[in-house]
Amino acid sequence: MKRIIMLISLALIAVNAAGYGGEAYAFLKNGVGVRATGMGGAFCSIADDASAVFYNPAGLVKIEGLQLVADTYFMNFNRSMNFISASKPFTINKNLYSTGLSWINYSGGSDIEKRTTNSPLPEELLSDGEHIFMLTVATVVSSNVYIGGNIKVLLHSLAGENGTGIGFDAGLLVDITEDISAGLSVLNISAGLNWDGLNYTDTLPYMFNFGLSYSMKNVFEVEKLDILLAADMLYSTFGSFRIKPGIELEANKFFSIRAGYNNGLAAGLGIKLRPSAVFTVMIDYALLTDPVLRDSFNQRVGAVVQYIFPHWDIKSGPQQEGDYSEEPW
Classify residue 116: in a domain, yes or no: no
Tell me the C-alpha to C-alpha distance, in Å, between residue 231 and each of 58, 211, 213: 17, 6, 7
Residue 171 is assigned to a structural domain of this protein: yes
- Determine, yes or no, domain membership for 122: no
pLDDT of residue 180: 96
**What is the pLDDT, as a whole number, of residue 9?**
42
Contact 13, 51 (CB under 8 A): no
The reply to whether 318 falls in a domain is no
Distance of CA 267 to the CA centre of its chain: 16
Residue 218 scores a pLDDT above 70: yes
Residues 34-61 pLDDT 10s: 999 999 999 999 999 999 999 999 999 9
Per DSSP, the three-state class of 219 is: helix
Lowest mean pLDDT among 100-104, 117-121, 150-154, 212-216: 117-121
**38 has which bridge partners?**
none
CA 168 to chain centre: 14
Residue 17, pLDDT > 70, answer no
Residue 121 lies in a domain: no
3-class SS of residue 10: helix
Strand partners, 180: 214
Strand, helix or coil at 57?
Answer: helix
Return the H-helix or E-strand segment holding 173: strand 161-175
Domain limits at 189? 2-111+127-310
Does 120 map to a domain?
no
Alpha-carbon distance of 188 to 192, in angstroms, equals 8
In a domain, 315, yes or no: no
Contact 224, 218 (CB under 8 A): yes
User: pLDDT digit string (tens) for 118-134?
Assistant: 767 666 666 778 999 99
Give the number of domains in the chain: 1
Residue 215 CA: distances (Å) to CA of 155, 176, 212, 257, 318: 38, 12, 10, 15, 27
Res 76: pLDDT: 77
325 lies in some domain: no
Query: How high does pLDDT run on average in the chain?
Result: 84
Question: Any idea what the CATH number is for the domain that residue 68 is in?
Answer: 2.40.160.60
Dihedral angle computed from the Cα positions of residues 285, 28, 42 and 71, in that order, rounded to the nearest 10 degrees = 20
